[in-house]
């Protein structure tokens, strides 16, 4: 079974702190994703990586950066946390599907609270 793990289930940080969220997948997937999930808004893509050291902005990249130094690990960085970044953060991975199809496997999520 594919396993996607996230470094923390719950995290509380102060405004202005630098925050690292880490994600590890064990299925040698090429693609990795970071989403945030907010009530009434569904999941919104922050960043996407299709290979080591490669990244693409999603719909809401402002205030975030990412790092992918190894294939299995994808980190989300909040350079200076703000209260409007309080949210559930979900990591996912997928293989390169046939054509443009794919199935994403999600981690359990990190509930981040910024005070």
Pick the closest to residue 35 from 55, 53, 61 (CA basis): 61
Compute φ and ψ for 14, nearest 5 degrees: -95, 155
Shortest CB 24 distance to another protein, Å: 14
Question: What residues pair up with 6 in beta bridges, in sequence order?
Answer: 23
Question: Residue 76 has which token pair?
Answer: 């989300």
User: Per rule CB under 8 A, is residue 45 in the interface with another protein?
Assistant: yes
User: Per rule CB under 8 A, is residue 32 in the interface with another protein?
Assistant: no
Residue whose CB is less far from another protein, 36 or 78: 36
Q: Which residue has the tokens 């990190």?
A: 110
Please work out the total of residues on this chain that contact another protein, with binding judged by CB under 8 A.
32
> Which listed range, 12-20, 61-69, 70-78, 96-104, lies at the site for another protein (CB under 8 A)?
96-104
Q: Are 73 and 96 in contact (CB under 8 A)?
A: no
Shortest CB 2 distance to another protein, Å: 10
Residues 6+ apart with CB under 8 A from 27: 2, 3, 93, 95, 105
> Which listed range, 14-22, 63-71, 76-84, 97-105, lies at the site for another protein (CB under 8 A)?
97-105
What character string, x for contact with another protein (CB under 8 A) and - otherwise, covers 48-87?
Answer: x-x---x-x-xx----------------------------
Question: Residue 74 has which token pair?
Answer: 């994808």
């Amino acid at each position: 079974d594919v396993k996607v793990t996230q470094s923390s289930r719950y995290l509380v940080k102060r405004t202005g702190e630098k925050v690292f969220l880490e994600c590890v997948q064990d299925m040698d997937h090429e693609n990795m994703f970071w989403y945030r999930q907010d009530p009434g808004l569904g999941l919104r893509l922050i960043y996407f990586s299709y290979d080591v050291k490669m990244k693409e902005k999603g719909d809401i990249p402002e205030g975030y950066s990412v790092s992918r130094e190894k294939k299995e690990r994808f980190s989300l960085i909040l350079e200076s946390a703000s209260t409007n970044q309080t949210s559930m953060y979900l990591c996912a991975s997928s293989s390169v599907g046939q054509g443009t199809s794919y199935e994403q496997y999600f981690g359990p999520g990190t509930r981040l609270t910024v005070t």
